[in-house]
Each structure stands twice: as C-alpha cells, then as structure tokens.
Chains A and B, each alone.
Chain A
C-alpha cells in the first residue's frame, strides 16, 4: 500500500528541478509513545529516482532524516514531458513510489 507522496518536477534552465515530500514517520527508535513504550526504529533506507527509466539518484538514508522527509535534486538535460519516478523502501520492507512528468518552466 503506497504511502502518499507529493512531487513536482519543473524545468529550471537546462535542468529539471524535482521536489518530493514523502509521508513517513522516520522513527529513530528512541521515541516513546502515549503508553510509554519505545517505538521501534522505522525509517526510509533507500530512495531511487529515475529519469525516463534511467537511475539518476540513489540515496541511502538514516533515521536522522527528518519526519515526512523532503528530497530535492536536479537532472541536467531533462526536457518537458520526461518521466521522473521516485521509489523508496524502508527498513521494514515497506515501499512506495510516485511518478510525474517534467513541466516546462
């Protein structure tokens, strides 16, 4: 079941500027819940971005990335209409992905 994401890809000069907001608790494992129990560590470990099917960004994250994590990156040589996909997997094996097309500036 995909967790919601928000993505926007827009041309800025000769590069596509991509912004993504992912919905994820990014638990450090140090937090206690309402009952006083330690919430297990739970965070996105790996994020892959592709441009027209080719990997452009391969990110490894720790639990030190903020809750509801944000990611911004740029792809030189992209053009309006190109496809950008973002996929992530967390330490529990949960996954999500989203895609969008690059908008003109």
Chain B
C-alpha cells in the first residue's frame, strides 16, 4: 500500500477515498445529509479526513485588539522589521563617532530611560542606582556606576546599536531601530554619566539578585480555582453537539476518553497532505470541516474548548510527538532555526530569553524568565492577566508582539515548526491541561 502511494499518489488517493467512504457509509447510515467539505484522501499512516484547501484561521488575519479582561494588544505595524515568516532588510546601524563630550539633559535622560512605552524601558533589564523605579530587571548588568566605566562615545554607540560593540548582545538597537532618536540617546548618555556609585537595595524583594522566584502552588484542575475548567465543560458539550450535517464528533467517536487517552500527547504531528505541522487546534478546524461540516476556526471559543477537552483526556500522558518522518525532522530543524532568528523592532530571538545559556532565570522587570523545558504541557491555559484561555499559538503571537514583531496567523507553518521543536524539547513531560498562568 505504501509503495503504491509513492508511485501513483493520485490513483492511490482515489482508491483510499473510495475505501474510506465505503467504510463510513457502512458505519453511519445518514452521512449523506449536508455534504462535508471535500476531504483529502487518507494518507498511509493517518486516516483522519482533513480539509486542506482553506486557511484554518479567520481571514484576513487581524491582530487582536483586546483580551476579555480589557488588556490590550499593542497595535503597531512593524513591517520594517523581521518576523518569523520574513527576514527584513536591516536598517543602517552606524556606529556614529563622537570625539567631543556628548551634551544632554540628565533629568530628561532619566525620564526617557524609565519610560515603559519605549520597549518596556531600560529598567526591564538594568538597575540604575538609588533612583531605580520598582522591580528592576537584571537581564543586563547593573548600571549604577556605569558613569565611571565608559566614555561618552562608547555609551552612545552601545545604546544606538550594541551589536557594534558586543556581538553577543540581546539588547535592542535603540537608535538603529528608531525607538529613541539620536537626540534622546544623548540625553540618556548624560543621565548615565551621573551614575557613579554602586547601589545596595534596602528591600531584598526589589533587588533582582535576591527577589523570590515565583512558585505556583495552584491546582489548575480545581474547578473552583481555574476558570478554564468551564472551557472543559464547553469542550465536552461541543464534542456532542451536531454540526451542519447533523453529525457530532461523538457520532464517530463514541468513547473519546478511551480512544484519545494519549492522542494529544502525540501532537503536534507532521501532516503530509499539507506538508506542515498540525497542532491540535488546526487539526480540529480541518477535521471538523471534513466530517461534521462544522466551521471551528482556530482560537474560536469552541476550538479552544475542544482543544482543552482533547488535551485533558490525555492528562498524565508523556509528550511524545512522532519524530520519525522526514517532515517531522525537518520541522524540528526549522523550528530550532526560527527560535534563533532575531525579530521585531526590539530585535530579539526566542533563545535570548528562554535558554539557560542566555538569559533564562533572570528578571525582565518584575517577571521571571524561564527556559523552554516545562513550558508546553499545560496548554491551553487560563491567563489570569488576560482573562482568557490561550492556546499555544496565541502564546507565540503574544511573544512576537511583545518584541514588536508582527505576529503570524495562528495556522502559520512557522508556528507549527516551533511547536514541533518545543514538543521535541519537552518529550516526556506529562500533559496537564487546562493550565493556569499569569
């Protein structure tokens, strides 16, 4: 069967389709009602019918404006900068040379350095002596006495584009990427020149070196604790709800709790009919179209609810994606590459914050950075800060927007590659969904 598929895919596909229709017609009497969308034929390994022509996300794709709790999504369009889908032409980045002392207003410079609207502010990564605002980060070095260590030209250029002075930096090129103007950077330099004394924090919770690492003791599966458990109820109900042609998921899958005991732990998977990685959510959208006739777009309430249900059924099962195919291996390699790409106006790569080799286990302002391991088994997750349940793709979208990179639609191939690379990294971790996180 496999070799026939390879030699004559179309002929084999037609044969498979006929076989599939015969089987399902035998099993279910009234399948004919409203036609499900044209389904791609069964592949050799997977027999789930899938719609493969249309996108699985709302079209045209528009970034979210707000989440349900009112927290907004930044609305900037950063098309001058790289995304996970496209590498932009790098803007000119100096260095600019200053042989005479740089003049500026230190008070204005301090205000600019502490302004959260400018990419989170410098306080996201640095301590600035006794005037440091609350909860400074320590991704970058303590600058409390930086005025004694470096000259004006060096200070200016490090801020303008640190890559000119430090090829390992993750600091954004504040000037070259136009987050601060040249004049503003001069004011910041004037401020930095006033920082001449090492600083000792009075409050160990303020000092990022001694701040308590957050520990989560919540029981994410306690329905009186995690609102995502309402989503689980909805998922169970949606599973039994009839689609356009009168059939529900349950019509074919009468015992999901036994049949799918490890299914979600084997996702995401390489899907040859689409030549991309499918996560649970995209699978739901495409499979529903090809079977019950339901239109369950990614990130819709029903899609997330069904994703919670399918993951929850597999709770306790170790993450174990099928990495045997060439497609899966290619996706892992591609995902690893994408996680190394510098994107956005802030010019950051996933690995910059989320690997122990770089800056995991440091503080970005008041938030503790963690590594990739241990970060995927809890999706979909309730986000307490957003008042919504996020699937893993929304998490990627948020990360992109946070570094001022345009996000991709949730079914982007690149997100699938990253999801696969993360699943490979998290092999063995036990599914524990729905999760609950900040």
Contact = CB atoms under 8 A, between A and B. Distances in A.
A76 interface: no
A23 B70 contact: no
B103 interface: no
Given A23-B230, A67-B387, A68-B387, A6 B66 contact: no
B166 interface: no
A23 B72 CA distance: 21
Contacts of B70: 28, 30-32, 39
Contacts, number: 45
A43 B225 CA distance: 19
Mostly, the A contact residues are loop
Interface string B205-227: 00000000000000000011101
Contacts of A33: 65-66
Contact of B65 (A6, A20, A30, A34): A34
A21 interface: yes
B69 to A, nearest CB: 6
Contact of B68 (A6, A7, A67): A67
Nearest to A23: B230
Contacts of B224: 6-8, 19-21, 70
A4 interface: yes
A25 B227 contact: no
**Interface residues of B toward A: which range?**
10 to 19
Which one of B64, B66, B72 has the greatest number of beta carbons of chain A within 10 Å? B66
Contacts of A7: 224
Contacts of A67: 68-69, 227, 387
A102 to B, nearest CB: 15
22 contacts: A4-B230, A7-B224, A8-B224, A19-B224, A19-B225, A21-B223, A21-B227, A21-B229, A23-B230, A31-B66, A31-B70, A32-B66, A32-B70, A32-B72, A33-B66, A34-B64, A36-B65, A39-B70, A67-B68, A67-B227, A70-B224, A70-B225
7 smallest CB-CB distances across A and B, nearest first, come from A31-B70, A6-B223, A19-B224, A68-B227, A21-B224, A67-B387, A34-B65
Given A6-B223, A6-B230, 18 more contacts: A6-B224, A6-B229, A19-B224, A19-B225, A21-B224, A21-B225, A21-B227, A21-B229, A23-B227, A23-B230, A32-B72, A34-B64, A34-B66, A39-B70, A67-B69, A67-B227, A68-B227, A68-B387
Interface of A: 4, 6-8, 19-21, 23, 25, 28, 30-34, 36, 39, 67-68, 70
Interface of B: 64-66, 68-70, 72, 223-225, 227, 229-230, 233, 387
